[in-house]
Amino acid sequence: MGTPDNDVAAGHRAQRHVAVVPHTHWDREWYEPYQSFRLRLVTMLDELIALLERDPSYAKFLLDGQMAVIDDYLEVRPENEERIRALAATGRLSMGPWYILMDEFLVSGETIVRDLQSGLLRGAAFGGAMEVGYLPDMFGHIAQMPQILHLAGFEHAVVWRGVPSVIDRSGFRWEAPDGSSVRAEYLPTGYGNGASIPDDAKALVRRVADHETEIGDFLLDGMLFMNGTDHQEPQPWLGRVVAEANELQDDYVLEVTTLPDYLAGAPTEGLRTWKGELRSGARANVLMGVASNRVDVKIAAARAERALERYAEPLSALYLAPEEFPHRLLDLAWREMVRNAAHDSSCACSVDEVVDAVLVRYAEAYRIADGLAGQALGALTRSLAEAGPTVVNVSARPRAGMVEVVVAGEDVPAGGQALPDEPGAFGIPRGMGPLTLDATTVRTIVGMLPNGSQIDTHTWIQGVAVEEGESGIDITIAFGSEERFDVPIASIKQDLYTRLGARPDAMVRIRIDQPLVRRVLARVEAVPGFGYRPLEPVVPAHPVTVDSEAGDGPVVMTNGLVTVAVDRTDGTFSLDGVPGYGRLVDGGDFGDSYNYSPPAGDRLIDIPDRVSVTVSERGPVRGVVTVAAHYTWPDHVDGMTRARTGEVGVEVSTDIELRADERIVRVATRFVNPASDHRLRVHLPLPEPAAGSDAECAFAVVHRGLEAEGRVDEFGLPTFPSRRFVSAGGLTVAHDGLLEYELVDIEGGPSERRAKTMAVTLLRSTGMLSRLGMAYRPLPAGPLTPVEGLQLRGRTIEARYALCTGCDDPYAVVDDAFVPLDVLYAPGGGERPPSASALEVEGAEVSAVRRQAGMLEVRVFNPTARTTTVKVGARSGWLVDLRGRTVEPVDGSFDLRPFGIATFRTAG
Ligand SMILES: [Zn+2]
């Protein structure tokens, strides 16, 4: 290793190795839709393959670290698979390790792992993926990335955005919270520092020398010259011009090479260590506003992740026979999730056609997952020995909670709470007399009916009786609240169809026999983790009461554990005496999909014109107070004055819910967005002033202070992402896709700064993909394209979050708030006992349960700073790494290091 600066000053110096890595950065969809970019991809790869085959001096090419480009290409050019395989086999073409270059903060940890695993698997079909954690364009990097890479056997990462100013060399050791680390190669000016090499050797040498002047202080040894940028095509003269440049001079030795070859020789000694996430805007944009644009996309992502990770996979793994595990359908769902993880896709910093496609992919993944979960629950229902309602818990932790059940008759179980009566199935009033129709009409109706027995959420066909007589045909259909598996609907339909066809002139009398049922809320005692038990309602120890008698005074809802008092004048509420929760603050946003930008002289609206507070439910199991608030918001930001202008009215409805025996307060806020160019946040007071926050990220909780590092080109706005929850000052907020928060109302001097409030963004409405001259980011971050969908104008927004003060386990809050207990109605006659746990996991958080390689696979992580003992009941098996390679045997339990991630495989 030389000291280049001194040598240059002295006029004689060692030769600098310049590693030229030809590549292209291929955003699959962004300012153009996928199919448009794919057409360009096909052209680019057609040319690249031919170039590599004919020109050995064009030695190498990096296919952007993501296998999606290969699959997208081969869908159009299947005949070129062997040519690609041959180029990969000889090391000319590097591909993978990811399936897609994801965003790391906006998708789940499990999505990141599946992204890597599917990339490695697909890469194996071409002789192996590149074993470098190539992360060129992600908008910052999660704390646990070094551990994820380490668990896949990688020693290197390559990063650009997010690297803090204290890292002042092109290499550093990047350490995860568990202490595992990788060597990170830092690209100080990005992945395009060697893009567009001129077809002129002298000009190339000048370019290299200029770049050395620019980043020379960073260089440890060689210079990585990334020859490519967004959607760039290869430059056919590269090999020749590099050879000519080497002939011309002795200062630099240029070599067309690969990342792994370059990194194999990169210095590893004496590197500075950085532990944790990389979210600094010191030298490159981190584009923090992507966490809050298109909140509908973030909510859809949260719903799909939950359906897949928390329901479909574990339920299928635990309640279906191993050979019935729906591998293929789950792979299809995951493929949609992984494609959507792409940084321009999940971040929704894209044109509307792209965002529409992202929403469709989330919907498809969700539908697959939801359907598979239903099938697995059906299998569990049928397999239970005893008949009757059974409560199912899909969380690893044993949990009590509230369930909604349908009970026969008028009686409400002791301690239960009756819900308002509903009309009968199909909207037919219960006890209505027979309906008389002609046979031809009925036959048409029968022909259109599905072959299932379920009528609605709570109603199944129990049986069908048919009587034929002189005067016509009598059909009696019995409905009931229990799912029946012995009613042959298809053959009943066929029989009716035949009979009605034989007597087209007959009158048909249809009677619906609907027993009296009631929907009831009930509190149930602890259900085993990943288990079930018969429904046995209990009388709550801490029932909810709601007191709304006091005229203009607050509406007070309490269960003895938490007291919520809703202010009738402004619609905010207090929690245990701390006032001001739920204050909605609407401000202007003249920003873009990437960054928030306050307009000139911003006008904040946080006081409603009028408020009405009503009690929707009064306990004892659940209390709900509904706040209907009317606001007048400015209509939009004027393009010339850059000030908020116009007026629009909006009705915002908020349900505040408290359940018996729980400390959690659930909040759901609904409105139709009437305005453009604005940001709506809910302000949540902190019980104690806080110097920082603790937010969930993939496989960890990260601590952040009140500031973010930035620079003139991107102000360090301390709005941060949280995956499913964030805690500060004694308050935990769990949410359903409301990823952005900021600690505000800061007081105290520089060393004593404390925030008093957490603001959670409910909506950020802008109309531009990227904008010029913004307050916090003056230069564009993408094309200056108007994108109407980013406004979300006219769209219904439903923001759901849960608050808990003094709750020490935020993962439990998330489970209770968003992964509720379910009730099944078992017919009896199966083999499973009335109560059991299908899988015991104690001592760590569970990230995934699925079947893999013929085994049951459970991935856990330790979110604490203490070594934990993970107990898996009587099971034995192995710990494996993220590539399925055996690490060590397990018998009943294993120790997991602080902040460690582990994957356990067991038979059965
Ligand atoms: Zn990109």
DSSP of 818-835? HS--EEEEE-S-SSB-SS
Instruction: Give the separation between CA 587 and CA 637, rounded to whole angstroms.
Output: 10
CA 136–ligand 1 middle distance (angstroms): 8
Q: Would you say residue 601 has pLDDT above 50?
A: yes
In angstroms, what CA-CA distances link 384 with 380, 392, 407, 460, 873?
6, 12, 19, 19, 22
Residue 12: the pLDDT is 53
The conformation of residue 535, written as its DSSP 8-state character, comes to -
CA 343–ligand 1 middle distance (angstroms): 6
Half-sphere exposure of 390 (CA within 13 A, CB side): 29
Instruction: Give the separation between CA 541 and CA 530, rounded to whole angstroms.
Output: 25
Q: Residue 615: which H helix or E strand, with range?
A: strand 610-618
Q: Would you say residue 9 has pLDDT above 60?
A: no
Instruction: Give the separation between CA 794 and CA 709, rounded to whole angstroms.
Output: 36
Average of per-residue pLDDT across 377-384 = 96
Sequence-ordered list of residues with C-beta below 8 angstroms from that of 717, at least 6 positions apart, any chain: 288, 289, 595, 596, 708, 710, 742, 776
> In 619-739, which ranges are E strands?
622-633, 636-637, 644-645, 648-659, 665-672, 678-690, 693-697, 700-704, 720-721, 725-728, 731-735
CA 859–ligand 1 middle distance (angstroms): 30
CA 782–ligand 1 middle distance (angstroms): 10
Residue 433: the pLDDT is 80
Dig out the tokens for 518 from the structure.
């009631």
CA 138–ligand 1 middle distance (angstroms): 7
What share of the chain has pLDDT > 90, as a percent? 87
CA 678–ligand 1 middle distance (angstroms): 26
CA 29–ligand 1 middle distance (angstroms): 9
CA 64–ligand 1 middle distance (angstroms): 10
* Strand 171-175 with 273-275, pairing: parallel
CA 162–ligand 1 middle distance (angstroms): 14
Instruction: Give the separation between CA 596 and CA 292, rounded to whole angstroms.
Output: 9
SS3 for 239-297 is HHHHHHHHHHCCCEEEEECCHHHHHHCCCCCCCCEEECCECECCCCCCCHHHHCECHHH
The conformation of residue 310, written as its DSSP 8-state character, comes to I
Inter-residue contact 445 to 439 (CB < 8 Å): no
Buried b (16+ CB within 10 A) or exposed e, 13-36: beebbbbbbbbbbbbbbbbbbbee
Residue 375: the pLDDT is 96
CA 647–ligand 1 middle distance (angstroms): 38
The conformation of residue 126, written as its DSSP 8-state character, comes to T
The conformation of residue 789, written as its DSSP 8-state character, comes to G
Q: Residue 850: which H helix or E strand, with range?
A: strand 845-852
* Strand 156-159 with 731-735, pairing: unpaired
In tens, the pLDDT along 486-508 reads 888 888 989 999 999 999 899 99
CA 253–ligand 1 middle distance (angstroms): 30
Average of per-residue pLDDT across 303-327 = 98
Which of these, 548, 543, 556, 576, lies nearest to 662 by C-alpha position?
543
Which of these, 587, 775, 568, lies nearest to 683 by C-alpha position?
587
Q: Would you say residue 74 has pLDDT above 80?
A: yes
CA 408–ligand 1 middle distance (angstroms): 57
CA 66–ligand 1 middle distance (angstroms): 11
Instruction: Give the separation between CA 769 and CA 785, rounded to whole angstroms.
Output: 5
CA 363–ligand 1 middle distance (angstroms): 24
Sequence-ordered list of residues with C-beta below 8 angstroms from that of 465, at least 6 positions apart, any chain: 475, 476, 478
In tens, the pLDDT along 854-888 reads 999 999 999 999 999 999 999 999 999 999 999 99
Q: Residue 54: which H helix or E strand, with range?
A: helix 34-54
CA 293–ligand 1 middle distance (angstroms): 17
pLDDT grade for 10, boundaries at 50, 70 and 90: very low
pLDDT grade for 34, boundaries at 50, 70 and 90: very high
CA 135–ligand 1 middle distance (angstroms): 10
CA 189–ligand 1 middle distance (angstroms): 15
CA 590–ligand 1 middle distance (angstroms): 24
Which of these, 104, 116, 262, 111, lies nearest to 176 by C-alpha position?
104
Burial, 471: exposed, middle or buried (Cβ in 10 Å; 0-12, 13-18, 19+)?
exposed
In angstroms, what CA-CA distances link 84 with 234, 241, 258, 571?
16, 25, 17, 63
pTM value is 0.94
CA 522–ligand 1 middle distance (angstroms): 50
In angstroms, what CA-CA distances link 460 with 249, 394, 514, 679?
83, 24, 10, 45
CA 345–ligand 1 middle distance (angstroms): 10
CA 24–ligand 1 middle distance (angstroms): 10
Q: What are phi and psi of 576, to 5 degrees?
A: 50, 40
Average pLDDT, the chain: 95
CA 598–ligand 1 middle distance (angstroms): 26
Q: Left (φ > 0), alpha (ψ -120 to 50) or beta: where does 141 sit?
A: beta
CA 115–ligand 1 middle distance (angstroms): 16
In tens, the pLDDT along 261-300 reads 999 999 999 999 999 999 999 999 999 999 999 999 999 9
Half-sphere exposure of 628 (CA within 13 A, CB side): 5
Inter-residue contact 79 to 277 (CB < 8 Å): no
Average of per-residue pLDDT across 430-447 = 84
CA 838–ligand 1 middle distance (angstroms): 43
CA 735–ligand 1 middle distance (angstroms): 28
Other CB atoms closer than 10 Å to residue 259's CB: what's the count?
24
Instruction: Give the separation between CA 305 and CA 337, rounded to whole angstroms.
Output: 8
Instruction: Give the separation between CA 303 and CA 362, rounded to whole angstroms.
Output: 8
CA 71–ligand 1 middle distance (angstroms): 18
CA 517–ligand 1 middle distance (angstroms): 56
CA 254–ligand 1 middle distance (angstroms): 27
CA 870–ligand 1 middle distance (angstroms): 39
CA 861–ligand 1 middle distance (angstroms): 30
CA 708–ligand 1 middle distance (angstroms): 23
CA 191–ligand 1 middle distance (angstroms): 10
CA 704–ligand 1 middle distance (angstroms): 26
Q: Would you say residue 3 has pLDDT above 50?
A: no
CA 139–ligand 1 middle distance (angstroms): 9
Average of per-residue pLDDT across 414-424 = 83
Q: What are phi and psi of 514, to 5 degrees?
A: -115, 115
Overall size of the chain counted in residues: 908
Dig out the tokens for 181 from the structure.
């680390």
CA 342–ligand 1 middle distance (angstroms): 8
Q: Would you say residue 634 has pLDDT above 60?
A: yes
Residue 5: the pLDDT is 46
CA 28–ligand 1 middle distance (angstroms): 8
CA 230–ligand 1 middle distance (angstroms): 7
pLDDT grade for 412, boundaries at 50, 70 and 90: confident
Average of per-residue pLDDT across 322-326 = 97
Q: Left (φ > 0), alpha (ψ -120 to 50) or beta: where does 645 sit?
A: beta
CA 560–ligand 1 middle distance (angstroms): 52
CA 510–ligand 1 middle distance (angstroms): 62
Query: Distance between the two ends of the chain, CA-based, in angstroms?
Result: 55
CA 160–ligand 1 middle distance (angstroms): 12
Omega cis (within 30) before 540: no
pLDDT grade for 407, boundaries at 50, 70 and 90: confident
CA 715–ligand 1 middle distance (angstroms): 21
Residue 684: the pLDDT is 98
Residue 13: the pLDDT is 66
Instruction: Give the separation between CA 163 and CA 285, rounded to whole angstroms.
Output: 10
Average of per-residue pLDDT across 398-410 = 90
Inter-residue contact 559 to 544 (CB < 8 Å): yes
Q: Would you say residue 666 has pLDDT above 50?
A: yes
CA 785–ligand 1 middle distance (angstroms): 17
**Which residues are in the CB-under-5-Å shell of ion ligand 1?**
27, 137
pLDDT grade for 566, boundaries at 50, 70 and 90: very high
CA 190–ligand 1 middle distance (angstroms): 11
CA 229–ligand 1 middle distance (angstroms): 9
CA 25–ligand 1 middle distance (angstroms): 6
CA 283–ligand 1 middle distance (angstroms): 17
CA 741–ligand 1 middle distance (angstroms): 24
Q: Would you say residue 1 has pLDDT above 80?
A: no
CA 174–ligand 1 middle distance (angstroms): 22
